Amino acid sequence: MSELLRVGIDIGGTKTDAVAISRDGRVVQQLRLPTGFGPGAVLETAVSAVTQLADRAGTSIGAFGSIGIGIPGAVDNGTGRVSHAVNLGLNDLDLGAELSARLGRAVRVDNDVNAAALGAFHLLEKSASHSMAYLNLGTGLAAGIVLGGTLWRGSRGTAGEIGHIPVDPNGPQCPCGQRGCLEMVASGSAIARQWPTDDPKPARALFSAAASGVSSAIEVKGRFVENVAAAVRILVLTVDVDSVVIGGGLSSLGPVLLDDVRAVLESWERVSAFLASTGLSERIAIVPVEFPAAAVGAALVGVA
């Protein structure tokens, strides 16, 4: 059985999630490690994760069916080279080749949002003809698009970068060089900028304050939710996917976020026969908090 296991590693800015999944997609081993900073530490974290999974599964690294990595930053999925992963201290790292040399076997690498999109698609258990956009709400905002069971990257790999669509010409300057991007109003960084707090979970603190009737919190939360709904609308109207699945760190808000976004979409449908005809509010879902979408998707990347 062990030789059928596929390994997926989701390397994040502070933590690394690792899973071993069976051929039918069941998670059979799972672990979490702190992520080191810088090329050497990132490599050691990944090697340690694979080694520990092998130990837990009672097998050797060479017996795994495949190994895949999901990591933030600009990733050449053909070569496994990673650049501009600022939160990890990576500027230009040939991650795929380095890990292959250390582990003695092939390792495939992809962007973490793309990996999570594959993981979420797997969770949906839809037919291959199903189309899905995975809306990643974290420090930033981006989407991964799965068409016919396959990631759609676009002609230059920027499909799904909707966080850098300007929505307010007078809005704040975005790190991408544009002004008023969607990411600046519908992300964790947007909440942190508009709702300063010492709480380690600013989004949860914001939603709690809004529920308690704090007027400024209600205003900030309202803008955030409306712009997340706008992201859903963009994905449906541009790609016409069957479903938009919300994931990423802010998806830990759970059903309350999904319900609030759906309420905004329903309000738009009541005043627009066109939007009502698209069934926007019926197309959204949220990844369960306990499901390691990015790590599972990374395992699927390993056999892509």
The tens digit of pLDDT for each residue in 107-124 reads 999 999 999 999 999 887
pLDDT at 125: 65
- In which residue are the tokens 């017996």 written? 63
Angstrom distance (rounded) from CA 257 to CA 259: 5
DSSP, collapsed to helix, strand or coil, labels residue 149 as coil
Q: Is residue 29 part of a domain?
A: yes
Strands 66-71 and 108-111: parallel
The tens digit of pLDDT for each residue in 33-88 reads 999 899 999 999 999 999 999 999 999 999 999 999 999 888 888 899 998 887 79
For residues 194 and 229, state if they share a domain. Answer: yes
Query: pTM (2 decimals)?
Result: 0.90
Higher-confidence position of 172 and 3:
172
For residues 111 and 131, state if they share a domain. Answer: no
Q: Is residue 298 part of a domain?
A: no
Q: Which residue range forms the structural domain that includes residue 173? A: 126-286
Q: Is residue 297 part of a domain?
A: no
The tens digit of pLDDT for each residue in 222-233 reads 999 999 999 999
The domain tally of the chain equals: 2
DSSP, collapsed to helix, strand or coil, labels residue 108 as strand
Residues 113 and 75: beta-carbon distance below 8 Å: no
